[in-house]
Structure 1
Amino acid sequence: MNKLVGETSPYLLQHAHNPVDWYPWGEEALQRAQQEDKPILVSIGYAACHWCHVMERESFEDADTARIMNEHFINIKIDREERPDLDHIYMDAVQAMTGSGGWPLNVFLTPDKRPFYGGTYFPPVKAFNRPSWKEVLTALSQAFNERREDIDQQAANLTDHLAQSNQFGTQTGSFLNIPKQELFTRDQCDTIYKNIMTQADTAWGGFGRAPKFPGTFTIQYLLRYHHSFNAPEGLQQALLSLDKMLQGGIYDQLGGGFARYSTDEQWLAPHFEKMLYDNALLVDTLCEAYQLTGNKIYAQTIHHTLEFIEREMTHLNGAFYAALDADSEGVEGKFYTWSLTEVQAILGDKAPLFCEFYDVTEHGNWEEQNILWIRKPLAEFAAEKGIDQAALETLLHNCRQQLLAVRDTRIRPGLDDKILLGWNALMIHACCKAYAALREDHYLHMAVRAMDCCWRNMQQPGQEGVFYHTYKADTPKYPAFLDDYACLIRALIALQEVTGHLHWLHRAKQLTDVVISQFSDEAGSYFYYTMQHQHDVIVRKKEVYDGAVPSGNALMVNNLWYLSVVFDDRAWAARAVDMLARLSQTVVRYPTSFGIWAAGILQMVKGTREIAIVGKEYRARMQEVHGYYIPFKVLLGAEKDQPGLPLLEQRERPGETLVYVCEDYHCIKPVFYIQEIINLIK
């Protein structure tokens, strides 16, 4: 009997009527596996996953396949976004076995939850040099029954491997007595830059070959490195990467927002799913690019993307949904693509110019359909055609609105409407940065509403500062993970910087205390992904890679460093330095996998500007600070002196609003306006 019908996850509900006897992860399924001594099949995916849908249609909806699964296995479905802790563990196991990973992730466990075999997509018949799903099921059932000792030994070896790979950071020794300027050097920053540039695609932007992911952390490092040390080639690569994405099919030219990644090197053909976190991280990066360059296209894209988020991915309570599917009507990208005939029928005599600009042709540019993308920048295209640029911009805008109105009548891709704490915090942070860069009050309103919703609905009853990971249908579920807390602390810090309300910082401090007490490893250096006393995982993992989302450990370095300055907590500062120093050699060698860490090293080398503003006009002065690109700063403001916050103590002068710029609490002479000393800061 399928047990998924009572779940709230859209991904699990997609499988609720399969003939497979699916269970959610939990005691009922795990106990049954032990009682019946059967292997467990864990199948992990997410609602917007195209190949997950394919395998469901081909295998999980097939009665004969379901019969084999039900007879020989205890079958568990997991939404990787609800249980990223389990996904991390079993993905690592499959990668160790096969050298690759992805979703759907299908992993086979012994009755005590230890993995012994796994893979990703399996076809219904042998193809792509892969065995069929039925062959895999039959062979593994036979092996489990006839070669149990071999299975148990493989499971033991894999579990040992997972535990051993988790031992970094527990070695003895400390960096506490080594000066910071010896631990982190300009030479490290230069080497990081050179290693990034060896992977740069100087023709189409981005890093590495197809498939191409946005690489926002790497782009941010190049922006900050150029700002720090004047590296025009690095700036050019960063901006080229953004420009090519903005012109490409990975960006929804009609509705705004970014797809997950591009399947080709030119950013034309995306994997059409839209994830909340990608859009948050790209808005973050575009805000920095805009502050550094003043390029209005970046501002327009921020506006367009946040319009999409508000229109299609925002709950009535202000929180943000997780994702939009790649498929509609069972076809990937159908909602977003066009035929030439459709465009001509809608636009009439404006179609030829529009189609030439967006590369719409009779034969199509992708699977006999057309993805809208820009082959030449608007100014260049207008000059070639002898058309006034402003007039062309107006014509294209009107055409896009006409097509968007028609597209809105189509059957929409599925919406994953669960609310994830960490991803919401990423978007809250992005809204704060958009408000700071563009001075649009509405973006601040979006940020505060979402934070209030998360704070109100996702805290565990009777445990202030202890949160749930996911929320849907008025029901929060699963204890929050390290990433959730780390992203939330960072968002609270950002809210203080844009509102001037210090209570956000006190909340950030409260959550940092929770993280230290509940997630610290035995050496008191790094943080585990799961809280203490969570018993349904076979190992407590420590995640350090900056992948699709930033590593919780990397964000905690930044959070600890920032809050150590605010509250003069030397232990937090020392821990941030220790975490960064222990990993620094790896970061320098592989910077595109450790982008947030790399920026942390750059910050340690360049220093942190401590900006304190005290007086009645402090909020207006804080707004002035946001008009400048100052990537490494602590910004505080208050109307009066604030005991307990060293940067805001003994700063008040009656009738004046003063701006203090400090480093390590040593301040230069206060000024009335930030522009008086901006060259010293920059």
Structure 2
Amino acid sequence: MPKQTNQLIHEKSPYLLQHAHNPVDWFPWGDEAFRKAREEDKPVFLSIGYATCHWCHVMAHESFENPEAAAALNEAFVCVKVDREERPDIDEIYMTVCQMLTRSGGWPLTVVMTPEKQPFFAGTYIPLESRFGRTGLLELVPRLSDAWKNQRETVVKSAAELTAALAAPEEGATVLDEDLLERTFEDSEETFDGQHGGFGSAPKFPSPHRLVFLIRQNPEAARPMVDKTLTAMHRGGVWDQIGFGMHRYSTDREWLVPHFEKMLYDQALTALACIEAFEAYGDEPYRRMAEEIFEYVLRDMTAPEGGFYSAEDADSEGIEGKFYVWSLDELRELLDSDELAMVVKIFHVQADGNFRDESSRRKTGDNILHRSGPENVSEEIRSKLFAAREKRIHPLKDTKVLADWNGLMIAALAKAGRVFDDPQYAEAAQRAADFVWSELQDNGRLTHRWREGQAAVPGQLTDYAFMIFGLLELYETSFDFQTLEKALTLNDAVLAQFRDPRSGGFYLTADDAEPLIVRPKSILDGALPSGNSIQVMNLLKLARMTGRIEFEKTAARTARAFASTINRIPSAFTQALQAIQFVKSGGIDVVIVGDRGLPATQALIQAVRSARQPNCTVLLKTPGLETIAPFTADMRPVNGAPAVYICRSFACERPFTDPEAVRDAMSEMHQQTV
């Protein structure tokens, strides 16, 4: 008997396809669904999630695969499914609604709205039946349906008021507080968990952009916080000790029990923090952690075409974490007695398991491998365990390629290629950038998602901002002039299509995108940094690399647009604050003049790179550079020898031809900025 299907069967999103055989008559977001809702005079039941979301799976199995629940939903609503990773604009709007109504949020996100897309109910996971004070779906659906039929005026008025509140412009300060950077550093010191690393209590998330902010603000004072946090994550259960890479977050304070999904952006951002820490302190464990992330990504998360996949699920065989945990008996079958003794000791393996089930609080017999010290198992043992694990049923891999998340990974790999002097990383970054430019770009406009040869969903601010970020990092590694040109092309599109001409800042969606009930605009740096935060830094760098002062003015106007928000809780904007650090440092701008193929030019490039300068821009004068950086026109070799021109705070030193003199000059300038 053929499987039942609904309208999602024609989609490319792995998340939507997971629900294509539900008895719920799901529609993808689009005109057809809302037209049907108007014609049948029904509200729209919107469910937003993503392919690797554990509680999305729970609600799907419990309710959306349940014939009784499906019949109730189909009778009362037109049901719409959205992949939040495909449509971050829709998710941004309705997650804000959920937070306004419930003071919390998360996925799955459940919203009920009018056919005009105005919401009047929002929540997250809803059980099938009511329990522990949480209203179940079977009880909730008839209530909402009754309200729609019999209290229409109240419902519509409430939805309109909520939509108006959502669209209301924020009033307040337009000047950033002078002490923002110091306050944020102090707040981090106060919330830092000195025993286990990280900030606050459980659950604990990787905090990579906060770590980068701390290093750039005060490297020595930040060092204990950075070291404790990165070390604890690398040794904890939140780190995949066998296959490498970061799990999504830790459910406990100790970094032991993770939520097991793996997201591409967590890998990229954590790697960037590790590279920054290695640059600042020179400690090899930071380099090793970044390299292990890249080993995982290049092995398991890279498409044959060169782009990077989005995520791996937490669940396999319907059980969260099953792919990653080990029983003592399993290990005993795989290892000899000496190997077993080492694994048991180093990874804290216990016969009854080393963690307790979240609901029952009983030990499960399974072990999450984690370390309490620097000692690790041999590569031979790890390889043996990895090979055995590969034979298990793997979690779902979400194989969509997203332009924005790829931009972050391109940035991380490009920076690693430069800092670690390892061409394999630069090559992987270049290959991914070429893929995005070929498959997700047309005439300077980006598309958000690619999967199985099909690109879809118009690019949003994060796609442009994160890709510009990646291209700028790649340019400073490869010095390929076309890479810088591409960054400027995308920047032109951002300025033309996303800028808010009235209040400043950038909208999440382009001015020709699908109209939604509001046009979202945010600078909040959550698990992902905001498009506005990254774009401010892009503009500041491009202003210095091209001499186009209007870019800097636009960056300043963006900061003013969000000043009131940032002043209130600056620690929620640590990516944005890196742009403030960039400005306050005065910055260092370097132009290297010389044929890159010459050993003398290479020596100057290495000298520039060896002097850590987080707030530095570097250009290599190649044919064509003068067209986009006219100020380089008069910069020439000195007596026929390659030269380095160094400028700080709009004042330039005499050109240097000696690598040691370059190092000394840059180190002296750096000392003046910290």
Aligning the two structures, in what range does the TM-score lie when normalised by the shorter sequence? over 0.9
State the distance in 2 between where 1:467 and 1:578 align.
25
State the distance in 1 between where 2:315 and 2:407 align.
27
Which amino acid is the alignment partner of residue 374 of structure 1? R
Q: What is the CA distance between 1:669 and its match in structure 2?
A: 2.0
Equivalent position SS for 1:611: strand
In structure 1, the partner of 2:361 is none
* CA offsets 1:601-643 (integer angstroms, 9 cap, x no match): 2222212110111012445533443333211011111256942
Q: TM-score, normalised by structure 1?
A: 0.92
State the distance in 2 between where 1:95 and 1:580 align.
24
State the distance in 1 between where 2:81 and 2:636 align.
59
- Contact 2:238 / 2:258 at 8 angstroms: preserved in 1? yes
* CA offsets 1:243-279 (integer angstroms, 9 cap, x no match): 1001111110110110111100111111000000000
Q: What is the CA distance between 1:681 and its match in structure 2?
A: 2.9
State the distance in 2 between where 1:642 and 1:282 align.
33
The verdict on how the C-alpha distance between 1:642 and 1:68 changes in structure 2, with shifts beyond 3 A counting, is closer
State the distance in 2 between where 1:51 and 1:90 align.
18
State the distance in 2 between where 1:508 and 1:583 align.
25
Q: What is the CA distance between 1:236 and its match in structure 2?
A: 0.8
For these two proteins, the number of residue pairs brought into alignment is: 648
Which of 491, 514, 520 is matched with 2:493 structurally? 514
Which of 222, 231, 253 is matched with 1:265 structurally? 253
Q: What is the CA distance between 1:119 and its match in structure 2?
A: 0.5
Equivalent position SS for 1:29: helix
Establish whether residue 15 from structure 1 lines up as the match of residue 25 from structure 2: no
The verdict on how the C-alpha distance between 1:168 and 1:508 changes in structure 2, with shifts beyond 3 A counting, is farther
Establish whether residue 657 from structure 1 lines up as the match of residue 657 from structure 2: no
In structure 1, the partner of 2:210 is 218
Establish whether residue 630 from structure 1 lines up as the match of residue 590 from structure 2: no
Alignment of structure 1 residues 91-102 onto 2, 5 Å: 91-102=95-106
Q: What is the CA distance between 1:568 and its match in structure 2?
A: 1.5
- Contact 2:29 / 2:81 at 8 angstroms: preserved in 1? yes
Alignment of structure 1 residues 38-57 onto 2, 5 Å: 38-57=42-61
In structure 1, the partner of 2:86 is 82
- Contact 1:615 / 1:640 at 8 angstroms: preserved in 2? no
Q: What is the CA distance between 1:648 and its match in structure 2?
A: 2.4
Q: What is the CA distance between 1:535 and its match in structure 2?
A: 3.2
Alignment of structure 1 residues 192-271 onto 2, 5 Å: 192-227=184-219, 231-232=220-221, 234-271=222-259
Equivalent position SS for 2:55: helix
Establish whether residue 144 from structure 1 lines up as the match of residue 133 from structure 2: no
In structure 2, the partner of 1:383 is none
State the distance in 2 between where 1:619 and 1:573 align.
31
The verdict on how the C-alpha distance between 1:589 and 1:114 changes in structure 2, with shifts beyond 3 A counting, is closer
Gaps of 5+ in 1: 176-182, 379-392
State the distance in 1 between where 2:503 and 2:103 align.
32
Equivalent position SS for 1:613: strand
Identity %: 39
Which of 403, 412, 416 is matched with 1:430 structurally? 412
Q: Supply the RMSD in Å over aligned alpha carbons.
A: 1.7
Which of 172, 189, 212 is matched with 2:181 structurally? 189
In structure 2, the partner of 1:293 is 281
Which amino acid is the alignment partner of residue 529 of structure 2? P
Which of 313, 338, 348 is matched with 1:359 structurally? 348
State the distance in 2 between where 1:109 and 1:639 align.
56
Equivalent position SS for 2:647: strand
State the distance in 1 between where 2:300 and 2:508 align.
31
State the distance in 2 between where 1:432 and 1:620 align.
20
Which of 304, 309, 321 is matched with 2:297 structurally? 309
- Contact 2:401 / 2:451 at 8 angstroms: preserved in 1? yes
Establish whether residue 339 from structure 1 lines up as the match of residue 327 from structure 2: yes
- Contact 1:614 / 1:640 at 8 angstroms: preserved in 2? no
Q: What is the CA distance between 1:235 and its match in structure 2?
A: 1.7
In structure 2, the partner of 1:643 is 626
Greater mean deviation of Cα atoms: 585-594 or 411-420: 585-594
Greater mean deviation of Cα atoms: 546-555 or 412-421: 546-555
State the distance in 1 between where 2:631 and 2:604 align.
16
* CA offsets 1:85-115 (integer angstroms, 9 cap, x no match): 0001111111111111100001001111110
Q: TM-score, normalised by structure 2?
A: 0.93
Equivalent position SS for 1:117: strand
Q: What is the CA distance between 1:584 and its match in structure 2?
A: 4.3
State the distance in 2 between where 1:91 and 1:291 align.
37
- Contact 1:619 / 1:637 at 8 angstroms: preserved in 2? no
Establish whether residue 402 from structure 1 lines up as the match of residue 393 from structure 2: no
* CA offsets 1:355-386 (integer angstroms, 9 cap, x no match): 111111111122321111111222xxxxxxxx
* CA offsets 1:639-661 (integer angstroms, 9 cap, x no match): 56942414522111252111111
Equivalent position SS for 1:5: helix
In structure 2, the partner of 1:385 is none
State the distance in 2 between where 1:495 and 1:361 align.
46
Which amino acid is the alignment partner of residue 192 of structure 2? A
Alignment of structure 1 residues 472-621 onto 2, 5 Å: 472-523=451-502, 525-584=504-563, 586-616=565-595, 617=598, 618-621=601-604
* CA offsets 1:132-189 (integer angstroms, 9 cap, x no match): 111111110111001001110110111011101xx248x8x987xxxxxxx674x432
Which amino acid is the alignment partner of residue 652 of structure 1? R
Equivalent position SS for 2:641: coil
State the distance in 1 between where 2:544 and 2:645 align.
14
State the distance in 1 between where 2:128 and 2:40 align.
28
Which of 668, 672, 675 is matched with 2:653 structurally? 668
* CA offsets 1:474-513 (integer angstroms, 9 cap, x no match): 1111100001100011111111100011221221111111
In structure 2, the partner of 1:419 is 401
- Contact 1:288 / 1:629 at 8 angstroms: preserved in 2? no
Establish whether residue 274 from structure 1 lines up as the match of residue 262 from structure 2: yes
Q: What is the CA distance between 1:522 and its match in structure 2?
A: 3.2
- Contact 1:244 / 1:267 at 8 angstroms: preserved in 2? yes
State the distance in 2 between where 1:670 and 1:286 align.
33
